[in-house]
Amino acid sequence: MIQPIDLCPGVLAFTTQRGNVNTRNKYSEFNVCNYTGDDALHVLDSRMMLCMQLGIDMDSLIMPHQTHSCRVAVIDNRYMSLDIDKQENVLDGVDALVTRLDNVCIGVNTADCVPLLLADPEARVVAAVHAGWRGTVAGIAARAIDTMVKQGARPGNIIAAMGPAICQACFEVGDEVVEQFEKAGFEMDSILTRDARTLKAHLDLLGANRQILKKSGLKENHIFTPCKCSRCNPASYFSARALGINSGRTFTGIMLKK
Ligand SMILES: [Zn+2]
């Protein structure tokens, strides 16, 4: 169920895998996301299993209610002391989390969008970012890095890994999406191709985020893409393009270990 991502010492990074997939069930087998139509008990069950594997309480597994925004929230002791309604308010409409707390797992839910994990192992600051094409255009990865810097991180020390996301061959987009990337100043030559037959545009969403990370001061050799395409591997990962948006999500998480 948990696929570890080798990021840096002192940090546990991972993505989840679906497990025994029943192809007729769009939430099969493992889903911790509670706002994409899954049964609440199944979500709770999945969360309990994940917490058991991580060796943490349910309160220490934290994920935002994502809306393709570019808002970042900091999970600190003040957040941990809030009651549950106030915590939900903090997490609503947020697409990236940053923390310095040990043994608190932050993460994002995705199905084709890019889940991005960031860690400064020296300053001990970590982040989890949901970067779909809208968030990528809005520069959410850069916003998350800015927030990490405010918490003491240095871009030159940050290690980044992107989890399972849609590959360029699978990510066909309309020209209006291409235009948004052009307007946002991406170097298009390295992220845009056109299908020889259909002439439809295909974007490299991981490559676009790599451009943002480098602009934010990360070293090229600190950026990893160790996972496979979500759309090409439906038995391992959820894919909104394959299953529709009412389906489970892959959870990609990060935790500072004491
Ligand atoms: Zn693919």
Write down the pLDDT at residue 81: 98
Distance 126 CA to ligand 1 centre (A): 28
**Residue 154 belongs to domain with CATH number:** 3.60.140.10
Distance 207 CA to ligand 1 centre (A): 14
Distance 236 CA to ligand 1 centre (A): 13
Distance 11 CA to ligand 1 centre (A): 28
Write down the pLDDT at residue 56: 98
For the stretch 203-230, pLDDT in tens is 999 999 999 999 999 999 999 999 999 9
Distance 89 CA to ligand 1 centre (A): 35
Number of domains comprising the chain? 1
CA pair distance 226, 49, nearest whole angstrom: 24
> Which value, in Å, is the radius of gyration of the alpha carbons in the chain?
17
Distance 34 CA to ligand 1 centre (A): 26
Distance 165 CA to ligand 1 centre (A): 8
Which residue type sits at 151? Answer: Q
Q: Which pTM was predicted?
A: 0.97
Domain with 229, as residue range(s), is 2-256
Write down the pLDDT at residue 190: 97
Judge whether residue 90 has pLDDT over 80: yes
Distance 164 CA to ligand 1 centre (A): 10
For the stretch 113-136, pLDDT in tens is 999 999 999 999 999 999 999 999
Write down the pLDDT at residue 200: 97
Distance 233 CA to ligand 1 centre (A): 8
Distance 143 CA to ligand 1 centre (A): 27
Section 184-195 average pLDDT? 98
- Determine how many CB atoms are found less than 10 A away from the CB of residue 33: 24
For the stretch 53-76, pLDDT in tens is 999 999 999 999 999 999 999 999
Distance 201 CA to ligand 1 centre (A): 15
Distance 229 CA to ligand 1 centre (A): 5
